[in-house]
Structure 1
């Protein structure tokens, strides 16, 4: 197999002609239209057969855990179609790696006529989306000049790199390399926290001492009961989770899905669906624990040997009476027993169902309660995440084959590749990703209480910002209207660089807009997230059209203008960086016997058929030599560290506390419906929103229960306005029993499309979501939002 792209001009079809032909048939990105294969309609079958074709296994490097095996059919430098892993290539010891609907639609995304083509400079007001074409030399000069100016005028801590997830699935990316460049020129303001699962990662160590609580899914093959709590792998395509779950289903595993929405996961797996009101998860967990303890179904031996804080006899010294789990459940201190009847009022889950769920979980040995990342994206998410660890602990399902410890680590994800070498950042202070708006507006507003670490104050506002392969600024950011007020004020952030494939809502706020390459137009290594452990080469398949350049390519030019090109590039082009990362990974993993990079270009991927992993198995099998990394060395049902924080939103037992904008909030009188979002099968966050094929897969609608629709005289297909004090979004109503009463839902990641009055017509829930940060992780809580819905 050769790695050279064949650009023979006598082929009869050039890349540019292919793009033009496809463009003539394409629609704007907001309308779903079927495409016709331009190649097959512009030449005869005989001529097509005469052209050489390479079928190249590859993968995307988007923020998607599957890294599915896609086969790109390349003729004369054009990807003519995409297929996927054939039956003959299946490995019985590995999950099936076939492409999902997103993977099969990549060609329409790469060859879309609306892709950015040239570097451009803003000419209108920020946010208007008005730009003029400039040269690359002018673009890189602007970046270099502004890097020097802001560092000299405000200090290097005035420079910030925003979240960019569209390239985070690979070992090499522009957002990583711009950080390398900044570190070589004085540093930049760093951020922490994962928008995806940062609240869980912060809360889990208060039970186990570490966030690493996930098993590999091959340890669940004989598990008789799995509870999927807000976990929706069928639609999110979360690694290869669904592959294992479908096998388990066929083998007789019983699945219970706890979710306000009857998701596709519930449809395909669930023997029972239990809907509950969003943000009331801990009330359901508390009542389950009440049943388990009061009916003597808890694992006494396990609790006595491995835990702290279950009852009064196992509490740390110096803690007042009635702070244990049993005392809380039985109402010894507050006079309220946490019975199923108590929880039914809060959760709207019938008491009888709560008892059945608790008994099933406690008496089925082993059982796995696996929580998704959606429930922890509420402002009570840290409590919810830790609540699952308490349930797993009192039933003895921690460290056991077929069990699950709860908390963070959903699918045993692991990072394999070393990534590029990174110089130290001289700037040590960090902000949460939730603090960037305040840091740009008024840096004095960001304090240690709000999320600042390693400093008491910020030295400067954010003055220069990079957004590379990210649509967070004005689309995924909670409370978009709050963010755009700061973005539109040019006295705040003085220079914004955006690099992307499309003019996204966030890209409209750039001062300099750069046309990035797709994964088909650059080199990388893709990594899966989960038990399907493998690395796969993402080869440069085609040459970029027009004046598109990879981020690394133009960053080298910026580095040259700053006089540090040699230090920045180390003399490597993009492919040489990938080769070096691979070689460093080989050295770091000698036991895995990785092939050489030359061999990888032939084999295309490397599989890790490692041993099954059970979190905390060593701690349970030999606690004397492997104590838990907590202060007590035990599983801490009661966390003395949280107790000493004395914060009402993060209690030491992680029990139910009514959430801000939850169903018990007084605001519910004005906005009685809880809005939640879900990750759909047709895009990764907002990536591929512009793909017309994938818009046909799932249209943007508001799910509303018939009871709520009837109260508001809303019928199927009506245009409705979803609104609260933060914003308004107008979409079509989907009246369905698949969402419980009192709750409405929209798919996450739709592009924000405001009209002249600021009303969104794209179905972007982030005009309605809150920028409130969580108490412990200083993280996002954008799933907690109260709204009202009216017929438009």
Structure 2
């Protein structure tokens, strides 16, 4: 019989007390106690919850609880059905118990005693922590004003009761804080799609995959990123129905292994060159839908350009070499850029043009580069040229947010922020260094200028403060300077790279230790009640608890809490969902069931209404059409970086950059099945699942005398890392890939020993979205 620790101790003490009794009395006592302990051990509670981090999935989890502890994790026990597949958890969710009971978990509040970034702290009480935080908020507000406060983008707690949202609520009640927009995931897609369609709601529902005859997974790896629970399930259904699946990716990913009929490796940042060459083949072979382009699109050819557009500025003219460059975008032209043989480009273009319906499903990786906004625009042109937009089994090109347009509307805990100024998420370090100099050209919205630089950061459940942000060495240097950011508060579970830069470090509860509600990540339509399974360990508290302590000291407790407990806030969120979504159950019903699935009478096909009734349903663009030529972008007068039509623009630190003479390898970072971004990096189970190692091609390894398993040094002008090498033919020559999310661990010389890709990445933002370009890096590698 397996005993809990408490039951074992109880049995041991009882048996010890009766050991001096007669044999009969001893045996009777032992039998009685064993029966009692066995019964207690069998009283297992099954608690329904979900993945609470920014994983691509929102999977159903069951925590098995005995004697106040989680003993194991299981997942949705229901069998799959075509209409309602089970929400099976991946390895990450199944490792929650290992993470929660990790010995390195933060146990009590601390304040910094060494230099910022050294990770030296001493224990303090919660009361002292709240006092220090309150004093800094009061001082900084009086000295600099509300725009000095910043709560960074963070998704370690991704439920409705996220601590960052509660902190923003308190700061808003106290005068305000600096806003941000965008994210680190798909901002280039968002801006690119809006420029061409007027919206980012451009994806067909996944149930429609089965109607495709051809699916191109362009930089899309749902086997590891998940990309919505059960995306692999729907791809499997499509495959079983006979769909051909082509994967375009520099790396032979798990998804490629699972589904690909063909793998086409491509040099990072060159995707638009491939698209342009595909368009060339379709135009010169008359394999495109001219009638569709004439009716629905602006600027494909000269006859459909805006009146003020210059001659030969259409997409067709550009592709055929009639524009300023006078370079036809032939497969041979693209081969030299992309590394893809011209014959393969010719085959791909013809197959995509001639197979009806066909879908391009794009991941987020390809658009995280210097000119990533052009990726989604180029894919939209291919979809328009083939008439696949608004069709079942087709796609609008790059996937924006999943359709439904009727998607569940979710509630929150926020309140209006008096400060309207907002910066791009990726440029928060610029707002620290030169916030008062930032303008609309830097992406500043809601104000012409900021009144102050960022002076206080409250980083809650996030590692993007250091680890997940580009150019770590630059970021760390900025944060070490206490004259810049004067106070940094971090709420965390572990001593992450970001936590080491805290002035006040607070231990936060984990997902299984609190009640919450969580919606789907992107694809899928259901909402899960995250039941509290066990009490918070050690001295950890929920963010709501300590923020309430600060609110009380600021004299804002009544306004902040509205008299609500955390449970009351969960009820508040559910009530909001119910009001916005007819048919959603009341709080008691939802809590008891644990999950609610939204159902719809039919599959969602993006832009179906526009295609079937164009006169009655225009596209939400200024012209009402698909804007292949964008008048808005043309008016920006930056044709080299933000062209009016989607086209290939050679990336800085791309394969055509002269810097390749010094740093000949392109470095990208792939998502890995063992982590949710940086979450789970310290869980031993996950290290067994997938080691932290850099992928490089056998040819590149041979040139450098590197063998599989060797420790190598990867470096550029921004930083250096040491990491084991995985020598493989599963990545194209000239490209290396580092699994993103490893915890930055520098030695005494500042050389990272864990393999954190962001010691190598660039902090230069993309031109339109002002987003992160973290797959645009040139490096060299040598044997360590």
Change (3 A) 1:471 1:567: same
* Structure 2 contact 193–400 (Cα < 8 Å) conserved: no
SS in 2 for 1:477: coil
Moved more, 469-478 or 430-439: 430-439
TM-superposition CA deviations, 1:596-640 (whole Å, max 9, x none) = 111122211001122311111111111111111111111111112
Q: Structure 1 residue 164: deviation in Å?
A: 1.1
Per the alignment, residue 49 of structure 2 pairs with: 58
How far apart in 1 are the matches of 2:753 and 2:7?
34
RMSD: 1.8
Change (3 A) 1:257 1:296: same
Per the alignment, residue 569 of structure 1 pairs with: 561
- Give matches, 1:184-195, under 5 Å: 184-195=173-184
Per the alignment, residue 23 of structure 1 pairs with: none
The equivalent position to 1:521 in structure 2, one of 513, 531, 538, is: 513
Alignment pair present for 1:269 and 2:259: yes
- Give matches, 1:558-707, under 5 Å: 558-590=550-582, 593-610=583-600, 611-647=602-638, 648-707=640-699
The equivalent position to 1:399 in structure 2, one of 373, 390, 398, is: 390
The equivalent position to 2:361 in structure 1, one of 340, 361, 370, is: 370
Q: Structure 1 residue 211: deviation in Å?
A: 1.5
How far apart in 2 are the matches of 1:258 and 1:203?
20
Q: Structure 1 residue 457: deviation in Å?
A: 1.9
* Structure 1 contact 768–785 (Cα < 8 Å) conserved: yes
Change (3 A) 1:583 1:15: farther
SS in 2 for 1:204: helix
Normalised to the residue count of structure 2, the TM-score between the two structures is 0.94
* Structure 1 contact 58–70 (Cα < 8 Å) conserved: yes
How far apart in 2 are the matches of 1:15 and 1:561?
39
- Give matches, 1:295-334, under 5 Å: 295-333=285-323, 334=325
- Give matches, 1:757-768, under 5 Å: 757-768=749-760
Unaligned segments of structure 2, at least 5 residues: 10-33
Per the alignment, residue 198 of structure 1 pairs with: 187
- Give matches, 1:209-288, under 5 Å: 209-239=198-228, 240-288=230-278
How far apart in 1 are the matches of 2:140 and 2:404?
38
TM-superposition CA deviations, 1:163-219 (whole Å, max 9, x none) = 111112x12210001000000000001111111001110111111111211111111
Per the alignment, residue 291 of structure 1 pairs with: 281
SS in 2 for 1:434: helix
Alignment pair present for 1:433 and 2:433: no
SS in 2 for 1:638: coil
Q: Structure 1 residue 48: deviation in Å?
A: 6.9
How far apart in 2 are the matches of 1:521 and 1:49?
22
Unaligned segments of structure 1, at least 5 residues: 1-10, 19-42
Q: Structure 1 residue 545: deviation in Å?
A: 1.7
SS in 2 for 1:301: helix
* Structure 2 contact 223–232 (Cα < 8 Å) conserved: yes
Per the alignment, residue 13 of structure 2 pairs with: none
SS in 1 for 2:119: coil
How far apart in 1 are the matches of 2:444 and 2:522?
32
SS in 1 for 2:772: coil
* Structure 1 contact 201–407 (Cα < 8 Å) conserved: no
TM-superposition CA deviations, 1:256-312 (whole Å, max 9, x none) = 000010001111010000001000000000000000111000012111111111111
Aligned length: 754
Q: Which has the larger radius of gyration?
A: 2
Alignment pair present for 1:97 and 2:87: yes
SS in 2 for 1:760: coil
Moved more, 313-322 or 665-674: 313-322
Q: Structure 1 residue 439: deviation in Å?
A: 1.4
How far apart in 1 are the matches of 2:160 and 2:397?
28
* Structure 1 contact 15–77 (Cα < 8 Å) conserved: no
Per the alignment, residue 182 of structure 1 pairs with: 171
SS in 1 for 2:211: coil
SS in 1 for 2:381: helix
Change (3 A) 1:148 1:278: same
Per the alignment, residue 30 of structure 2 pairs with: none
TM-superposition CA deviations, 1:733-792 (whole Å, max 9, x none) = 110000000000110001001000010011100000000101101111111000000011
How far apart in 2 are the matches of 1:402 and 1:736?
35
Per the alignment, residue 502 of structure 2 pairs with: 510
Change (3 A) 1:294 1:691: same
How far apart in 2 are the matches of 1:498 and 1:634?
47
How far apart in 2 are the matches of 1:141 and 1:475?
28
Per the alignment, residue 361 of structure 1 pairs with: 352
How far apart in 1 are the matches of 2:705 and 2:456?
49
How far apart in 2 are the matches of 1:121 and 1:223?
57
* Structure 2 contact 201–401 (Cα < 8 Å) conserved: no
The equivalent position to 1:466 in structure 2, one of 458, 462, 476, is: 458
Moved more, 372-381 or 604-613: 604-613
Per the alignment, residue 31 of structure 1 pairs with: none
Change (3 A) 1:410 1:186: closer
How far apart in 2 are the matches of 1:444 and 1:149?
20
SS in 1 for 2:203: coil
How far apart in 2 are the matches of 1:389 and 1:364?
17
Alignment pair present for 1:547 and 2:527: no
Per the alignment, residue 126 of structure 2 pairs with: 136
* Structure 1 contact 411–529 (Cα < 8 Å) conserved: no
Q: Structure 1 residue 92: deviation in Å?
A: 4.5
The equivalent position to 1:352 in structure 2, one of 321, 331, 343, is: 343
Q: Structure 1 residue 77: deviation in Å?
A: 1.3
Per the alignment, residue 27 of structure 2 pairs with: none
Change (3 A) 1:46 1:180: closer
How far apart in 2 are the matches of 1:17 and 1:565?
44
SS in 1 for 2:669: strand
* Structure 2 contact 409–581 (Cα < 8 Å) conserved: no
How far apart in 1 are the matches of 2:75 and 2:440?
49
Change (3 A) 1:303 1:17: farther
SS in 2 for 1:474: coil
TM-superposition CA deviations, 1:130-166 (whole Å, max 9, x none) = 1100000001111111111100011011000011111
Change (3 A) 1:309 1:218: same
- Give matches, 1:476-495, under 5 Å: 476-495=468-487
Q: Structure 1 residue 14: deviation in Å?
A: 6.1
Per the alignment, residue 707 of structure 2 pairs with: 715
* Structure 1 contact 435–446 (Cα < 8 Å) conserved: no
* Structure 1 contact 671–786 (Cα < 8 Å) conserved: yes
The equivalent position to 1:164 in structure 2, one of 143, 154, 157, is: 154
TM-superposition CA deviations, 1:663-686 (whole Å, max 9, x none) = 000111100000011111111100
SS in 2 for 1:375: coil
How far apart in 1 are the matches of 2:514 and 2:700?
49
How far apart in 2 are the matches of 1:485 and 1:738?
37
SS in 1 for 2:467: helix
Moved more, 433-442 or 562-571: 433-442
SS in 1 for 2:685: helix
